[in-house]
Chains A and B, each alone.
Chain A
């Protein structure tokens, strides 16, 4: 054994050899590494420390550079850490800090003793090693056990050791919040050390603490102020500024005090880092101080004019922060910002993009978007999408707040979809559908844009556009009544290249085709009568001559197509559509409108054209009726069922209307009417949280196990009426089941579903947007939730609306259309989360220490001690443990009254002292925040008494600490 280990150590490869070997090795590196690891596994077991250390060092190297697992070597590292040699100890601790996982490496506890020994070592470098290791590997147990040692180090007379101990404190606080009670006071004392490195370390710790929970550190503001006013160390000043950024929102009076010294630094400093931090502090936290902001903006301008791209970038970043409150600052630098859009540096471009968009408001949105789209066309794909994303985000903000001309915006969306690099399909899809539901006036334009997208077969080849096409298909189906040529849309929806679409979108296509087909048929039925009865036929209509038909007369002005350039007057169209309620959808007016708007282009509907469409549908969807995708199968069968139904009566489908009218309409006509009615039901946006508001009916257990569902369904399956599926109806025709039976059944079903829907609406009306009738009141839409009147939020929306309107240019071509909004915010619903984190424990403890709040002390302590005592091992107990034990708690409770009395007395006492103090040291007190904020670091007497106490026991501390700090 001894021989082999000697051999090993003699011929062992050092780390350097390993690295050399790796560099010279040609071929698969991993085979070399695995061979090396095998070697290390052998060597590391050696009893010779040198060999072991060497092996461990190699392994650590492989771990951190080549990602080799070394969790198996944890124990060897611990073993080596007790070595007398500093070199070996360092190797061991480095291995531990780079590889130990505090949450899973269970041997860490074995290191407790060694760490304690090294923390107490007279050699400051050994202490440093231990502190480094402690940072990386400490667990709550380790933190608890070693807190006293670190506490002692906080007073070390070696500066380097002391500042390292201070830095490590943060970790201890995180893992073991009770350490705050022990160490906090001494930490604060170190703020007054003469060595700036030590102060810097303390401030660094407070900066981290304040990030998590600033409120607790407000009482220390005077200390930080002193540093801000006196220090000349840039690192320190930056950190102090960081702290003040966190504190400023909590204490408005801080601003007045701080602005002056910050501006001083900004004027005097030559260090760009400090200057930038001052600028950032001013623009983010003290933006109400105009002179300071002006100074900061001056500085920003200097940054922008530097050659260094870093400074340019940071300057733009600062402008972004300042933009929401002081837009003038951006405007002053407008040219630079626009120029930066074509900078070589991606950072600068992005930042400039943000700024450009911050300048957008309703007057210039059209122009800015035009500029940006031009940039997008020229840019690389990544930045192009960044631009598109930003435009989409900005324009949709607050439910399209800045958009006045929706027709423009909708066509912009269409334009974006055609940009080659566009990958924002999902967002554009959402907005197209959303605008369709919210903005009624935009629907004609939506349909037009949708049509243009649908009929372009090239777009189907680009998977990024598929989502947009899905929206286009949906829009075309849903708002088909604004379409100029439905048959064209059916053809587009069924074109062969749709096979390139994913199945979910294909299903949308088919469903839309269904809607369009229904509309088309319904329209042809309802107009045919007119057309055939009017002797001159379609030609008449084309010239706007009004046939003698009462219904037609009613909508006479609309039918006047002489002035109508292809129905592109959406306003007119819209107005008459609004007059048409859901119930009277069958009203001829819609049809006439459509006809009048399209008559100039579309060919008249003849039986032949219907037949053509039906053929097309059957040819395309026929094969899909057997699709494996349920959605596609179901929907195409629906359409095919309808086609089948019509074919039945096709010869003379349109002509027999006159006689049918006498004995009631044809059954087919009746059905088409019903389906069309069902589709004409208005869809509105639904609040993301509306489902939450549905009360669960009694007797329903939502969490019930569904294991027995199969059995139940199996039973039910027997009773499900078979006529539900249209597929069945196709086959049943051949089985001699009379059509009328079939129809009446379906008719019943559809009326039933209609009535069910209506009933549902009535009952849960508040989850829907108000129906059309209410919306007729232009520009004064009531909140969707009728129950709540005088909603504050809604008033606010109205107010902003008004203010926006008043700002608008006078030559606005048309008023902004109504945008339906939900009253409870349209954002995604985020359930409020309650977080009970460790930070709360730290800050709670800090507050206890700073303010001596007895009540919270005892409660938080009980909570914590429960937790920690369960974990605690019955080892050598420390003083802190004892004091935080449950026994102590009861004692504390008993004493709390007495303590409070003490506290009050001490408060009075200290106030008296303060008065005295103020008279003696006035200039110093000028910086103070007032009595409330006073942190009595001046009270040297108390402090010294505290230090004299020395003992760590908490029982002794808690009543005294308030004296110290209040």
Chain B
């Protein structure tokens, strides 16, 4: 199963993290830092897998990551997943869906659409199991949810508009 999904930027700031096995929040931060430390030491153009992660992960944990511009997309999983399939999941499913949802995604999209990121991720993975690998399907579901949200929470309209100019 997939154990965790992380999106970390190249300065080590987490942008999204989801752990499919409960971890206390301090441990989460530690794991993210550790993963970043491992990744930031790797040159480009090398393989995207990391097998020996150190003692804080259980021994069968593997890691697949993909480096896009300023972001690392990281999937941690155990040996009941295929490494290349996970890489595909990052490239052809997760990032492609993000691309479709945000029209060529960049780090700012990920930063400011925190909850939408979770919606997208939840459509692809449930409980560490990959459930949807077709990005078209994912986009459709995400759009449905967005529509549902805008109809049920009319109140947000006013509320949202005020602070946005107020904050400027």
Do A and B pair up? The answer is yes
Interface residues of A (CB under 8 A from B): 9-17, 19-21, 23, 50, 54, 57, 61, 63-65, 67-70, 84-88, 90-91, 94, 98-99, 101-103, 123, 125, 128, 131-132, 135-136, 160, 163-164, 167-168, 170-171, 197, 200-201, 204-205, 207-208, 211, 234-235, 238-239, 242, 272-273, 276-277, 309-310, 312-314, 344-348, 350
Set A87, A131, A238: member contacting B152, Cβ < 8 A = A87
A68-B25, A164-B131, A346-B42 given; 4 more Cβ-contact pairs under 8 Å: A50-B156, A94-B115, A101-B22, A314-B84
6 A-B pairs in the complex with CB atoms less than 8 angstroms apart: A15-B115, A19-B112, A235-B130, A277-B85, A344-B46, A348-B46
Q: How far apart are B68's CB and chain A's nearest CB, in angstroms?
A: 16
Please tell me if the beta carbons of A14 and B126 are within 8 angstroms of each other in the complex: no
Does B58 make an interface contact (CB < 8 A)? no
Please tell me if the beta carbons of B25 and A310 are within 8 angstroms of each other in the complex: no
In the complex formed, the residue of B with least CB distance to A129 is: B122
Please tell me if the beta carbons of A87 and B47 are within 8 angstroms of each other in the complex: no
Set B16, B20, B82, B111: member contacting A277, Cβ < 8 A = B82
Given contacts A9-B159, A86-B148, A312-B47, contact A67 B29 (CB under 8 A): yes
List of A residues within 8 angstroms of B129 by Cβ: 167, 170, 201, 204-205, 208
Q: Is the interface of A mostly helix, strand, loop or mixed?
A: helix
Given contacts A69-B25, A197-B132, A277-B82, contact A14 B87 (CB under 8 A): no
Q: How far apart are B137's CB and chain A's nearest CB, in angstroms?
A: 8
Q: How far apart are B148's CB and chain A's nearest CB, in angstroms?
A: 5
Please tell me if the beta carbons of A98 and B18 are within 8 angstroms of each other in the complex: yes
In the complex formed, the residue of A with least CB distance to B45 is: A309
List of A residues within 8 angstroms of B159 by Cβ: 9-10, 12, 14, 50, 54
Give Cα A309 to B43, complex, Å: 12
Given contacts A273-B85, A347-B49, contact A86 B152 (CB under 8 A): yes
List of B residues within 8 angstroms of A238 by Cβ: 82, 85
List of B residues within 8 angstroms of A171 by Cβ: 127
Please tell me if the beta carbons of A67 and B28 are within 8 angstroms of each other in the complex: yes
Question: Chain B, 23-53, contact with A by CB distance < 8 Å: what is the 0/1 string?
Answer: 0111011000000000000110111111110
List of B residues within 8 angstroms of A91 by Cβ: 115
Give Cα A91 to B118, complex, Å: 10
Please tell me if the beta carbons of B131 and A163 are within 8 angstroms of each other in the complex: yes
Q: Which of B43, B129, B164 has the most chain A CB atoms closer than 10 A to its own CB?
A: B129
Q: How far apart are B56's CB and chain A's nearest CB, in angstroms?
A: 15
Please tell me if the beta carbons of A313 and B47 are within 8 angstroms of each other in the complex: yes
Please tell me if the beta carbons of B25 and A167 are within 8 angstroms of each other in the complex: no
Q: How far apart are A22's CB and chain B's nearest CB, in angstroms?
A: 9
Please tell me if the beta carbons of B131 and A201 are within 8 angstroms of each other in the complex: yes
Set B80, B112, B163: member contacting A211, Cβ < 8 A = B80
In the complex formed, the residue of A with least CB distance to B119 is: A90
Give Cα A63 to B80, complex, Å: 30
Q: How far apart are A299's CB and chain B's nearest CB, in angstroms?
A: 13
Give Cα A127 to B88, complex, Å: 28
Please tell me if the beta carbons of A101 and B24 are within 8 angstroms of each other in the complex: yes
Q: How far apart are B111's CB and chain A's nearest CB, in angstroms?
A: 6
Q: How far apart are B91's CB and chain A's nearest CB, in angstroms?
A: 11
In the complex formed, the residue of B with least CB distance to A14 is: B163
Please tell me if the beta carbons of A61 and B22 are within 8 angstroms of each other in the complex: no
Does B160 make an interface contact (CB < 8 A)? yes
Please tell me if the beta carbons of B87 and A204 are within 8 angstroms of each other in the complex: no
Give Cα A102 to B22, complex, Å: 8
Given contacts A125-B148, A204-B130, A273-B82, contact A17 B167 (CB under 8 A): yes
List of A residues within 8 angstroms of B112 by Cβ: 16, 19
Does B166 make an interface contact (CB < 8 A)? yes
Please tell me if the beta carbons of A208 and B80 are within 8 angstroms of each other in the complex: yes
List of B residues within 8 angstroms of A211 by Cβ: 80
Please tell me if the beta carbons of B156 and A87 are within 8 angstroms of each other in the complex: yes
List of B residues within 8 angstroms of A9 by Cβ: 159
Please tell me if the beta carbons of A17 and B46 are within 8 angstroms of each other in the complex: no
Question: Chain B, 45-79, contact with A by CB distance < 8 Å: what is the 0/1 string?
Answer: 11111111000000000000000000000000000
Does B141 make an interface contact (CB < 8 A)? yes
Please tell me if the beta carbons of B133 and A131 are within 8 angstroms of each other in the complex: no
Q: Which of A200, A347, A348 has the most chain B CB atoms closer than 10 A to its own CB?
A: A347
List of B residues within 8 angstroms of A54 by Cβ: 159
Please tell me if the beta carbons of A61 and B114 are within 8 angstroms of each other in the complex: yes
Q: How far apart are A100's CB and chain B's nearest CB, in angstroms?
A: 8
Please tell me if the beta carbons of A90 and B149 are within 8 angstroms of each other in the complex: yes
In the complex formed, the residue of B with least CB distance to A310 is: B47
Give Cα A404 to B80, complex, Å: 41
Set B122, B164, B167: member contacting A128, Cβ < 8 A = B122
Q: How far apart are B88's CB and chain A's nearest CB, in angstroms?
A: 6
List of B residues within 8 angstroms of A11 by Cβ: 162-163, 166
Give Cα A168 to B130, complex, Å: 12
Given contacts A201-B131, A276-B82, A309-B45, contact A84 B152 (CB under 8 A): yes
In the complex formed, the residue of A with least CB distance to B162 is: A10
By Cβ-Cβ distance, the 4 closest A-B pairs, closest first, are: A273-B84, A135-B127, A345-B46, A309-B47
List of A residues within 8 angstroms of B119 by Cβ: 90
Please tell me if the beta carbons of A160 and B164 are within 8 angstroms of each other in the complex: no
List of B residues within 8 angstroms of A205 by Cβ: 129
Please tell me if the beta carbons of A67 and B22 are within 8 angstroms of each other in the complex: no
Does B109 make an interface contact (CB < 8 A)? no
Give Cα A128 to B156, complex, Å: 23
In the complex formed, the residue of B with least CB distance to A16 is: B112
B122-155, CB < 8 A from A? 122, 126-127, 129-133, 141, 144-145, 148-149, 152-153, 155
List of A residues within 8 angstroms of B1 by Cβ: 208
Does B83 make an interface contact (CB < 8 A)? yes
Give Cα A346 to B164, complex, Å: 48
List of A residues within 8 angstroms of B28 by Cβ: 64, 67
In the complex formed, the residue of A with least CB distance to B126 is: A167
Set B126, B133, B163: member contacting A235, Cβ < 8 A = B133
Please tell me if the beta carbons of A197 and B160 are within 8 angstroms of each other in the complex: no
Given contacts A17-B163, A94-B115, A125-B144, contact A344 B152 (CB under 8 A): no
Please tell me if the beta carbons of A57 and B51 are within 8 angstroms of each other in the complex: no
Does B14 make an interface contact (CB < 8 A)? yes
Give Cα A164 to B153, complex, Å: 26
Given contacts A309-B45, A347-B46, contact A132 B122 (CB under 8 A): yes
Given contacts A16-B164, A310-B87, contact A346 B26 (CB under 8 A): no
Does B17 make an interface contact (CB < 8 A)? yes
Given contacts A131-B126, A207-B80, A276-B84, contact A160 B47 (CB under 8 A): no
Q: How far apart are A269's CB and chain B's nearest CB, in angstroms?
A: 12
Q: Which of A15, A167, A350 has the most chain B CB atoms closer than 10 A to its own CB?
A: A167
Please tell me if the beta carbons of A88 and B127 are within 8 angstroms of each other in the complex: no
Q: Which of A197, A207, A310 has the most chain B CB atoms closer than 10 A to its own CB?
A: A310
List of B residues within 8 angstroms of A346 by Cβ: 42, 46
List of A residues within 8 angstroms of B160 by Cβ: 14
Please tell me if the beta carbons of A167 and B127 are within 8 angstroms of each other in the complex: yes
List of B residues within 8 angstroms of A277 by Cβ: 82, 85
In the complex formed, the residue of B with least CB distance to A241 is: B82
List of B residues within 8 angstroms of A85 by Cβ: 152-153
List of A residues within 8 angstroms of B47 by Cβ: 309-310, 312-313, 345, 347-348
List of A residues within 8 angstroms of B85 by Cβ: 234-235, 238, 273, 277
Set A64, A167, A201, A310: member contacting B17, Cβ < 8 A = A64
List of A residues within 8 angstroms of B84 by Cβ: 272-273, 276, 310, 314
Q: How far apart are B165's CB and chain A's nearest CB, in angstroms?
A: 11
List of B residues within 8 angstroms of A67 by Cβ: 25-26, 28-29
Please tell me if the beta carbons of B111 and A197 are within 8 angstroms of each other in the complex: no
List of B residues within 8 angstroms of A23 by Cβ: 111
Give Cα A54 to B164, complex, Å: 14
List of A residues within 8 angstroms of B162 by Cβ: 10-11
Q: How far apart are B84's CB and chain A's nearest CB, in angstroms?
A: 4
Given contacts A272-B84, A309-B46, A309-B47, contact A13 B141 (CB under 8 A): no
Please tell me if the beta carbons of A136 and B15 are within 8 angstroms of each other in the complex: no
List of A residues within 8 angstroms of B148 by Cβ: 86, 123, 125
Give Cα A85 to B149, complex, Å: 8
